[in-house]
């Protein structure tokens, strides 16, 4: 009986003890929550008023438009993402675009009651209060997605929002504790404010768009591309779980650096998805066994489509952004370019295919010798040493150790591991700075641009052989002598002044008298082969065959200043100081960009259209900020333009023309014009090609003018540059989806004023004026003649 009574007393004591513990827990929780709420209102009141004691909070405007650094994206005309400009590599996606796998994994792991709470989860706070504060057990921070978003958006744990209270506590545990409490409460406040201003779906997407994943990937879209090389909407369950597992500790759980740790974290996320019913037991058991299969690729400015183009237009974009109060690197604008993705790929492939073969030929040509030679064909002494002195690294060493110091020579010749370019693939090797410079100087470079002449839109742009290793752009940045590709501007000036394509000139030496003070009194240009045939040639034939003597004759007739004016009207910037006779042979430096625009004027009926690379720019919300229509001006008459097209066609139609060697596949049922160009010693090889819908410019040469083939034959533009145009155009015509077809150039709207059939012209009889002077009196008579065309002055024929 006594035992029973003892047992009842014990049971009653236990019940009383249990009630006491429950009361203690509730009392502690009420005190804990009450204390936090009190501090919450104090922090909120003080922060929003003075912002001194506890630090400030984001203002109204900042909350309405939270700062979220976004990559600016650049697109092709057909909608392909080419690349980005960024400080932080981030691309936003909307809630509707998010993968269901991502949504489920995040909710199940981070905040299962997200769509029920108002920014603060009291259920999670109770869990944290009991386990962490009372029972001293780890229970996580209890932060909702809204609170985590507040931390990501406003850097609440940085110095910007730190108040005088925390600063006065020094650097100790107490400071860190107080700071953590204030920061947490601020995140509560911001979370509640965000919940008032945005929908749940917007907050959810904003959170995923702001999360750092490591490897310079910010936001779920870039993370999916970086780790799995796919769009986030295409992530499977285990991939989505892997990325959600990375969220709170991107370094610790990086699937690239710590694959086993990342796999364990992924499986924990999969377990949560099973707990919340988003996976079956069988699915969970199966998926957790799978390895993490990465396709890791960090987004780089050195890779992707049209790398040279993206780099070359960056200065223009930066100026535009500055004028429009936009940060190119953070404001997430979308730049829509004129580049056609398919044509860009064809251009890059054509250049790569040809340049790889040409480089092999060049290497064999110079086997055992260095390719930098002077005008006499001898190797330039100390060439590499002089080139080395131009390097920023060399200059930094000189600044640090002094010119001529042994340390400069030591470090510039110190071998170190590096990855160098080759046409067979990148090579891991040991090289010094001097070694690598010598190695890279032996590569031939190239530039190619294709443009629609009717609207100025640039459809393809390749500025070099490999952007990662050769940053210099040879389309717009680089300028070299155009050689004979400049001749059409000389002949165009003559056509504008009334000369006919059929006007005949004899191929004989032509000598210019040079101004006093020149190194030589006269200049007699030589033909490429060093010979003069003595034959009569029409201007069309002479330009087609690129005969220097006849071009010099034409230059003398029209004058260098008129040629400079003609070139300037066609967008080729030639200074007045270069208005000299030798300009006829292309001695003024120009760019592929300029020359392509100039030739486009001939095809576009005399209207010069500035080459255009951007059609419109949108803000991050898709609103158009500015559109960029074609900029045009009437440069020459429609008749002059058409006669020049006819002249250019001569290169592929006249016997001995420099474009006759184009593929039959390209010329069949097609009017096509062109002009080769080769500078002295074959330092630069050019080819300009024109069709009814596309104008293309191509340049090939060494990085320095002294690097070239030893003979003119191998280095001429017909062999170094023309094949790139040929391959590109064949690929364009073969792709019917592009819409470019063969055919004839459009004829002028009015009949032209001169006969283009030179045989008919020769058979005609002309009336000419002749002045007879007798005893001081002048009499003008008319007589009928049938002379050689070269003997006629165009002003006398009527």
Mean pLDDT of 755-776: 68
pLDDT digits (tens, 9 = 90+) for 229-244: 999 999 999 999 999 9
Q: Angle 187-193-194 (CA atoms, 0-180°, nearest 5)?
A: 85
Checking if the pLDDT of 528 tops 60, the result is yes
The arithmetic mean of pLDDT across residues 733-762, rounded, is 89
Flag the least confident range among 17-26, 63-72, 656-665. Answer: 17-26
In this predicted structure, the answer to whether residue 177 has a pLDDT above a threshold of 60 is: no
pLDDT band at 92 (very low <50, low <70, confident <90, very high): confident
Tell me which DSSP letter residue 378 carries: P
* 436, pLDDT greater than 70: yes
Of the listed ranges 64-78, 191-205, 432-446, the one predicted with least confidence = 64-78
Of the options 1.10.8.80, 1.10.3810.10, 1.10.10.10, 1.20.1260.10, the CATH number for the domain spanning 25-67+90-292? 1.10.3810.10
The DSSP secondary structure of 588-609, one letter per residue, reads S-B-HHHHHHHHHHHHTTTEEE
- Looking at per-residue confidence, does 187 or 530 come out higher? 530
User: Regarding predicted confidence, which is higher, 30 or 212?
Assistant: 212
Q: What is the pLDDT at residue 37?
A: 55
C-alpha 90/C-alpha 152 separation (Å) is: 13
Which of 15-19, 101-105, 131-135, 775-779 is the most confident on average? 101-105
Q: Using only C-alpha atoms, what is the Rg of the chain?
A: 38
Q: Per mean pLDDT, which of 11-20, 36-45, 197-206, 305-314 is the most reliable?
A: 305-314
Beta bridge partners of 686: 677, 699
**From CA 521, how far away is CA 513, in angstroms rounded?**
6
What local confidence, expressed as pLDDT, does residue 117 receive? 79
Q: Give the least confident one: 80-89, 174-183, 212-221, 569-578.
A: 174-183
Most confident of 12-21, 244-253, 527-536, 562-571: 562-571
Hey, what are 193's tokens? 């404010």
How many CA atoms are closer than 13 Å to the CA of 334, on its beta-carbon side? Answer: 16
Q: 453-507: per-residue pLDDT in tens? A: 999 999 999 999 999 999 999 999 999 999 999 999 999 999 999 999 999 999 9
Q: Can you tell me the distance from the alpha carbon of 584 to that of 580, in angstroms, rounded to the nearest whole number? A: 8
Comparing C-alpha atoms, which of 167, 155, 165 is closest to residue 212?
155
- Asked if 417 and 432 touch (Cβ cutoff 8 Å), the reply is no
Average pLDDT for residues 603-612, to the nearest whole number?
Answer: 97
Of the two residues 89 and 747, the one the predictor is more confident about is 747
- What is the residue-averaged pLDDT of the chain? 85
- pLDDT tens figures, 386-428: 999 999 999 999 999 998 899 999 999 999 999 999 999 999 9
So what's the pLDDT on residue 529? 86
768 — pLDDT class (breaks 50, 70, 90): low
The region, left, alpha or beta by phi > 0 then psi within -120 to 50, assigned to residue 80 is beta
pLDDT at 43: 45
pLDDT for 193: 78
**Domain extent listing, the chain:** 25-67+90-292, 340-445, 765-791
Q: What are phi and psi of 214, to 5 degrees?
A: 85, 170
Closest residue by Cα to residue 181 from 132, 135, 214, 219: 132
- Cβ count near 607 (within 10 Å): 19
């Amino acid at each position: 009986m006594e035992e029973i009574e003892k047992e009842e007393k014990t049971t009653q004591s236990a019940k009383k003890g249990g009630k006491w513990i429950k009361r203690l827990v509730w009392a502690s929780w009420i005190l804990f929550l009450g204390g936090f709420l009190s501090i919450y209102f104090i922090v909120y009141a003080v922060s929003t008023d003075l912002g001194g004691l506890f630090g400030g909070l984001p203002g109204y405007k900042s909350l309405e438009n939270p700062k979220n650094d976004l990559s600016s994206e650049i697109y092709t005309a057909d909608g392909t993402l080419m690349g980005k400009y960024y400080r932080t590599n981030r691309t936003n996606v909307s809630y509707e675009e998010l993968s269901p796998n991502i949504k489920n994994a995040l909710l199940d792991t981070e905040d299962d009651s997200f769509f029920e709470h108002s920014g603060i989860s009291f259920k999670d706070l109770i869990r944290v209060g009991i386990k962490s504060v009372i029972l001293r057990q780890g229970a996580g921070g209890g932060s909702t997605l809204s609170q985590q978003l507040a931390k990501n958006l406003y850097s609440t744990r940085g110095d910007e929002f730190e108040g005088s209270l925390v600063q006065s506590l020094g650097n100790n545990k107490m400071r860190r504790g107080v700071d953590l409490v204030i920061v947490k409460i601020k995140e509560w406040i911001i979370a509640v404010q965000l919940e008032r201003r945005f929908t749940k779906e917007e907050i959810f997407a904003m959170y995923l768009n702001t999360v750092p994943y490591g490897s310079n990937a910010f936001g779920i879209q870039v993370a999916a591309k970086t780790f799995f090389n796919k769009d986030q909407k295409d992530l499977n369950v285990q991939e989505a779980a892997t990325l959600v597992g990375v969220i709170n500790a991107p370094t610790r759980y990086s699937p690239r650096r710590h694959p086993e740790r990342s796999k364990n974290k992924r499986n924990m996320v999969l377990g949560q998805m099973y707990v919340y019913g988003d996976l079956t037991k069988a699915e969970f058991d199966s998926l957790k066994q799978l390895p993490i299969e990465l396709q890791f690729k960090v987004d780089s400015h050195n890779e992707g489509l049209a790398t040279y183009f993206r780099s070359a237009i960056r200065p223009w974009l930066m100026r535009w952004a500055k004028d429009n109060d936009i940060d190119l690197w953070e404001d997430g604008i979308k730049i829509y370019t004129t580049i056609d993705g398919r044509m860009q790929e064809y251009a890059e492939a054509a250049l790569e295919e040809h340049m790889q073969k040409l480089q092999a030929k060049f290497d064999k040509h110079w086997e055992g010798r260095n390719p930098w030679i002077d005008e006499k064909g001898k190797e330039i002494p100390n060439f590499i040493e002089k080139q080395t002195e131009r390097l920023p690294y060399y200059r930094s060493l000189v600044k640090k150790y002094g010119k001529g110091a042994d340390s400069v020579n030591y470090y510039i010749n110190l071998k170190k591991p590096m990855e160098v370019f080759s046409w067979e693939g990148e090579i891991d090797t040991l090289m010094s700075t001097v070694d690598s410079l010598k190695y890279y100087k032996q590569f031939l470079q190239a530039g190619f641009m294709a443009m629609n002449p009717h609207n100025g839109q640039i459809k393809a742009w390749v500025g070099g052989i490999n952007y990662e290793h050769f940053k210099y752009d040879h389309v717009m940045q680089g300028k070299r002598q155009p050689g004979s590709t400049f001749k059409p501007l000389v002949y165009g000036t003559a056509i504008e002044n009334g000369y006919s394509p059929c006007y005949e000139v004899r191929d004989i030496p032509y000598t210019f008298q040079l101004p006093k003070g020149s190194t030589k009194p006269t200049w007699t240009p030589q033909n490429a082969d060093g010979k003069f045939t003595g034959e009569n040639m029409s201007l069309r034939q002479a330009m087609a065959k690129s005969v220097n003597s006849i071009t010099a004759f034409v230059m003398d007739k029209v004058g260098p200043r008129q040629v400079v004016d003609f070139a300037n009207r066609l967008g080729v910037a030639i200074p007045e100081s270069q208005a000299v006779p030798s300009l006829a042979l292309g001695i003024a430096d120009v760019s592929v960009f300029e020359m392509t625009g100039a030739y486009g004027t001939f095809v576009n009926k005399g209207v010069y259209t500035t080459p255009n690379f951007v059609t419109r720019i949108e803000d991050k919300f898709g609103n158009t900020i500015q559109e960029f229509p074609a900029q045009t001006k009437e440069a020459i008459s429609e008749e002059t333009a058409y006669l020049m097209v006819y002249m250019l066609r001569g290169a592929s139609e006249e016997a001995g023309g420099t474009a006759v060697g184009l593929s039959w596949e390209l010329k069949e049922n097609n009017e096509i014009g062109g002009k080769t160009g080769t500078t002295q010693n074959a330092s630069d090889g050019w080819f300009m090609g024109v069709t009814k819908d596309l104008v293309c410019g191509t340049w090939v040469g060494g990085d320095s003018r002294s690097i070239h083939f030893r003979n003119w034959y191998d280095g001429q533009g017909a062999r170094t540059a023309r094949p790139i145009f040929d391959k590109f155009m064949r690929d364009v015509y073969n792709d019917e989806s592009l819409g470019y077809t063969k055919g004839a150039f459009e004829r002028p709207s009015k009949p032209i004023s001169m006969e283009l059939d030179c045989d008919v012209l020769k058979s005609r009889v002309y009336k000419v004026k002749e002045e007879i002077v007798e005893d001081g009196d002048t009499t003008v008579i008319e007589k009928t003649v049938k002379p050689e065309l070269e003997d006629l002055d165009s002003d006398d024929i009527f």
